[in-house]
Homo-oligomer: A and B are copies of this chain.
Amino acid sequence: MTENLEDELRLSVMRLARRMRLERDDGDLPDHQLSVLFVLLREGPISIGLLSEHERVTPPSMNRTVNAMAQWGLLNRASASDDGRRVLVDITEAGRRAAGEIRRRRAAWFSLALRELSEAERGSLGEAAVLLQRLADS
């Protein structure tokens, strides 16, 4: 792949992600809360400390975010049974619903956008999906 194509790929991924992030309503959750919900969906119950590392914020900041979200019923806090210091955070049914709404909205937009492509082009993107996944994990 030429360097130019590499840049084009990188930039288009960034811009497409931004475009998808914009598929939200005014009443939706703040970005950082939404991001926490997605982590919980992906990783399951997790401590405040790990959550703060994952989201690249300090533990006090994450603590505050988690408290706000617990007040809204989006997640639960519970002491870890094996270590009284740790707090395990888990998503609630309401949290799942909130995250699901955004996900559906993004998926709906994306589906429509994909229909503008040809069958062959969609096939190319299908091949690419698994590769992008691998890159994200590296």
Chain A contacts to B: CB under 8 angstroms: 1-2, 5-22, 56, 106-107, 110-111, 113-114, 116-117, 121-136, 138
Contacts and interface: CB of A to CB of B under 8 A. Distances in A.
A114 B13 contact: no
Contacts of A7: 107
Contacts of A127: 124, 128
A121 B127 CA distance: 9
Contacts of A131: 117, 121, 124-125
Contact of A133 (B8, B107, B110): B8
8 contacts: A5-B129, A6-B114, A8-B129, A9-B125, A10-B106, A113-B138, A116-B138, A117-B135
Contacts of A116: 134, 138
Complex copy number for this chain? 2
A8 B130 contact: yes
A136 B109 CA distance: 11
Given A14-B20, A22-B56, A138-B113, A124 B133 contact: no
Contact of A16 (B56, B106, B126, B135): B135
Given A6-B110, A20-B13, A128 B135 contact: no
Nearest to A135: B113
A127 B127 CA distance: 10
